[in-house]
């Protein structure tokens, strides 16, 4: 008998590579290519650093109020955490406690099965079809909860609200989590459904569209009842999860709405242009409504293109999963970054 026999062993999530060389074109982790909002920059430059010695507000009141005002929901319907990963992890811990398996797609955000294994939650990965589309009827079966991203990751495929509501309608006896990390890049949020169904949790993040991946801010919106359960779990785990600068900077990011919308618009415009150019180069991909494109080439292997790009300091994302091994997930960077990648591919694919 060893102490290691009682260790909770899991296979951890592996994030996209973070190269230490700053002279790279980094298109592998879906970060925003533009700086945070001017209000955020001004706040950082004028921050009172002596406040760092004080604990943050455990209720995250200022940030919760800013989010509730922006999305026009009651503040008791808002939960915030250290990135949407923290919010979803806490949601798994809080809501997925049945002996029935939770359901999520087989091609999706690869943290879901890690959390399920960590918390000893039974789960079933439902295969997407050959076009990487989710089949809603597959989620009509008995289960212990459901989570899926919309748009999905890494495919970028967006489902409409009727599709999302249909899954919810057929699963009103469990919690349904809609992970909307990429919703700001052309999708319609499921937020209107949280007042219609008390078992729905919509999760979003500041990491992508608000250019604040380094600050780790995520939030969930749901019924007062479901948010109350989340808060109970949080305060039984760690009351002070968000630091003071993140709370203050998060408020500034929400308030600078003009910049937020301009930034999303630029990313969308670049994405649509790059779709056309990748098609001309012989790539195929699902129609993305996110800040990345999930593409494969008709002739060259995904691994070969990935290696060639990396050797030239252009980083994209590649998985060895058999169903998607030929695909590359290409984050949308600035126009200059995308042009540099496209110029390389034009020469390489010749």
Cβ-proximal residues to 311 (8 Å cutoff; 6+ apart), any chain: none
CA distance 191 to 203: 9
CATH topology for 3-36+258-349? 3.90.1150
Options 3.40.640.10, 3.40.50.620, 3.40.50.300, 3.40.50.970; CATH of 50-255:
3.40.640.10
The whole model's pTM is what? 0.95
Helix, strand, coil share of the chain (percent; to 5) = 40, 15, 45
Structure-model confidence comparison of residues 15 and 128, the more confident one: 128
pLDDT for res 271: 98
- What number is the average pLDDT over the span 143-161? 97
In three-state secondary structure terms, 156 is coil
6-10, 101-105, 159-163, 293-297, range with the lowest pLDDT = 6-10
pLDDT band at 250 (very low <50, low <70, confident <90, very high): very high
For 300-347, the pLDDT digits (tens) are 999 999 999 999 999 999 998 899 999 999 999 999 999 999 999 999
Per cent of the chain over pLDDT 70 is 100
Residue 38: Cβ within 10 Å count: 12
Q: Do 294 and 182 touch, CB atoms closer than 8 A?
A: no
Q: In whole angstroms, how large is the CA radius of gyration of the chain?
A: 21
Give which of 178, 182, 7 is closest to 91, Cα–Cα.
178
Mean pLDDT estimate for the chain = 95
The two three-digit tokens of residue 7, written as one number: 């260790």
Question: Can you tell me the mean pLDDT for 20-49?
Answer: 91
Given a cut of 90, is residue 7 above it in pLDDT? no
SS3 state of residue 299: coil
Q: How far is CA 80 from the centre of its chain?
A: 15
- Can you tell me the distance from the alpha carbon of 80 to that of 90, in angstroms, rounded to the nearest whole number? 11
User: 69: which residues sit within 8 A by CB, 6+ positions away?
Assistant: none
Confidence check: pLDDT of 14 > 90 = no
- pLDDT of residue 23 exceeding 90, the answer is no
pLDDT above 80 (res 21): no
Q: How far apart are the first and last CA of the chain?
A: 61
What is the predicted pLDDT for the residue at 22? 74
Encode pLDDT of 156-214 as tens digits.
999 999 999 999 999 999 999 999 999 999 999 999 999 999 999 999 999 999 999 99
Q: Give the domain ranges of the chain.
A: 3-36+258-349, 50-255
- Domains 3-36+258-349 and 50-255 agree in fold: no
Q: Is the per-residue pLDDT at 294 higher than 90?
A: yes
pLDDT of residue 12: 84
pLDDT value at residue 128: 98
């Amino acid at each position: 008998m060893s102490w290691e026999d009682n260790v909770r062993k899991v296979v951890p999530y592996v994030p996209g590579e973070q190269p230490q060389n700053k002279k790279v074109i980094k298109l592998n982790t879906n970060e925003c290519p533009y700086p945070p909002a001017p209000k955020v920059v001004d706040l950082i430059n004028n921050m009172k650093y002596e406040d760092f010695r004080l604990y943050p507000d455990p209720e995250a009141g200022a940030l919760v109020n800013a989010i509730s005002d922006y999305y026009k929901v009651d503040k008791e319907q808002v939960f915030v955490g250290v990135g949407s990963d923290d919010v979803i992890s806490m949601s798994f811990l809080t809501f997925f406690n049945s002996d029935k398996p939770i359901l999520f797609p087989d091609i999706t955000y690869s943290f879901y099965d890690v959390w399920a294994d960590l918390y000893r939650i039974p789960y079933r990965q439902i295969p997407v079809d050959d076009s990487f589309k989710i089949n809603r009827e597959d989620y009509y079966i008995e289960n212990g909860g459901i989570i899926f991203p919309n748009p999905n990751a890494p495919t970028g495929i967006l489902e409409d609200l009727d599709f999302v509501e249909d899954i919810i309608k057929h699963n009103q006896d469990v919690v349904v989590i809609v992970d909307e990390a990429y919703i700001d890049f052309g999708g319609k949020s499921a937020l209107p459904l949280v007042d219609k169904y008390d078992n729905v949790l919509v999760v979003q993040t500041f990491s992508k569209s608000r250019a604040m991946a380094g600050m780790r801010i995520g939030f969930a919106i749901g019924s007062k009842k479901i948010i109350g359960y989340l808060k109970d779990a949080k305060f039984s785990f760690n009351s002070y999860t968000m630091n003071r600068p993140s709370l203050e900077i998060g408020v500034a990011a929400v308030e600078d709405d003009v910049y937020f919308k301009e930034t999303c618009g630029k990313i969308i415009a670049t994405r649509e242009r790059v779709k056309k150019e990748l098609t001309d180069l012989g790539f195929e991909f699902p129609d993305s409504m996110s800040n990345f494109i999930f593409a494969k080439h008709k002739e060259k292997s995904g691994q070969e293109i990935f290696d060639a790009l990396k050797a030239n300091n252009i980083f994209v994302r590649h998985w060895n999963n058999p169903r998607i091994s030929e695909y590359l997930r290409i984050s949308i960077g600035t126009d200059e970054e995308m042009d540099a990648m496209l110029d390389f591919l034009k020469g390489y694919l010749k």
